[in-house]
Amino acid sequence: MIDQRLTKNLYRVDEACASFRKAIRGARYNDVLAWAEELFVSGCLGEANVVLFEMWIFLVGCEDIGWLKRWYSCDQSLVAIQKATVSLIYSINERKHVDLITSLIKGSTPIPEQTTKSVAPHFVKILKNLEKSSSYSYKPAVQACINLAHSKGVKVRPYKDVDLGKFEVTPVETLKVSHLNIYGFSERGRMKISEDTLWEVRGDIVDTLLQKGTPYWQEALKGYDPEDPDCMEAFAVKHFPNDIPDEWSLAKQERTHGKGSLFESEDGARLVKFCRGFFAGTELDINIIPHKKITGSTLFDCFC
């Protein structure tokens, strides 16, 4: 299900997750840390963790089961999640195999590397049984992967702590959602380039947040009285001290909202087009990717 709730800085959750996923794939460390923070402070830790798990299982997998164990057992603080994300990028950069996707599509497992020989086929079964009912349904699958690795004696790679101090986190208020980065995995990523979502920040923002706010906004709006002018003014001063969104410049509004991703000739976002860009540099055979429309909001929805 596409998540159109708005984060602390008014990004749609589906677009924040898509941008987070794309930044991880592109090893854009400064942006990755910023997107992780935006999702975290907005109360969307579960959604961020789904992105991390899918990136691990499709781009790393049993090559680094140690990462999965460290991430799953960490204290889930912002710093811990940011460190896990950077560490994940390191693991992704070390590997080009995407055998699991081939297995899921073809229904059989190619000859894996020596270290994954007895494990890789079982990942397919785990993912085929992955529950998709909520953003937290990844947890049983994570535990199943860890248990599987233990039973097969997979070696845990040594862990090197990540020094976040060497990265300069991109200021969240300067992040801009690219309509190319959200292709297929957001509502706007399935809209025509002639369509846009700017209307959402040009209306009554309080009414929008009451309907579509993340936990951050739900907490901020507790006790809000739309009939009380003083209450309305206090809210605006606290959360939008410069201008309310419908008075922002077009450039500022287009940081979080804007045009769709599809050309006018496209009848929908296609999985093969997404994979051609997202998995560039890997050994994935694009010719095996089905020419189907993307209908889910995660990679699990597409391949499992």
**Helix (H) / strand (E) containing 264:** none
Contacts of residue 165, Cβ cutoff 8 Å, sequence gap at least 6: none
pLDDT in tens, 2-47: 899 999 999 999 999 999 999 999 999 999 999 999 999 999 999 9
Residue 256 lies in a domain: no
Residue 304 lies in a domain: no
Question: Tokens 């001063």 map to which residue?
Answer: 237
Query: Which range among 61-70, 134-143, 214-223, 286-295 shows the weakest confidence by mean pLDDT?
Result: 134-143
Give the per-residue pLDDT at 72: 87
Q: pTM for the complete prediction?
A: 0.90
Structural domain tally of the chain? 1
Residue 207 lies in a domain: no
Range of the domain at 49: 13-171+267-299
Residue 20 lies in a domain: yes
86 backbone dihedrals φ, ψ, rounded to 5°: -60, -45
Residue 41 lies in a domain: yes
Arithmetic mean of pLDDT over the chain = 86
Residue 45 lies in a domain: yes
Residue 194 lies in a domain: no
pLDDT in tens, 262-294: 999 999 999 999 999 999 888 888 999 988 999
pLDDT in tens, 162-200: 999 999 999 988 899 998 899 999 999 999 999 999 999
Residue 230 lies in a domain: no
Give the per-residue pLDDT at 105: 76
- Token output for 181: 């980065």
